[in-house]
Amino acid sequence: MSDLADFGLIGLAVMGENLALNVESRGYRVAVFNRTTEKVDDFIAGRAAGKNFLGCHSVEEMVKNLKRPRKVMMLVKAGPAVDALIEQLTPLMEPGDIIIDGG
């Protein structure tokens, strides 16, 4: 079994946590990232404990640990934060990879 995640999710507020748990419950390994890394650690130790998650402390770490083609969903507040994340993600992605803005 590959240690790479099937799906990446950025943003662990209420909606992000619940979506990540839902995706994982369907048999997928999920890599999660949040700008505030303590939120990642709390989620992995709490609601995600014992489940098929990979907690990441950087966007680069998350992208590196995704199966190709990579699928990343962002659940962050609309505005400059989304633009900044897209700018950060774009050079790390390849043709065929997907970025979904769900915020």
Residue 87: the pLDDT is: 95
Tell me the sheet residues that pair with 54. 31
Query: What are the phi and psi torsion angles at 67 (to 5°)?
Result: -65, 150
Domain 7-101 sits in CATH at 3.40.50.720
- Least Cα distance to 101 among 91, 20, 60, 79 occurs for 79
Q: Domain boundaries in the chain?
A: 7-101
Specify the pLDDT at position 103. 73
pLDDT at residue 22 in the model: 98
What is the distance between the alpha carbons of residues 66 and 62, in angstroms, rounded to a whole number?
A: 7
Long-range CB pairs of 85-88 (<8 Å, 24+ gap) are 85/10, 85/59, 88/59
pLDDT in tens, 43-86: 999 999 999 999 999 999 999 999 999 999 999 988 898 999 99
Say what the pTM is.
Answer: 0.93
pLDDT value at position 25?
A: 98
Q: What's phi and psi for 32, nearest 5 deg?
A: -120, 145
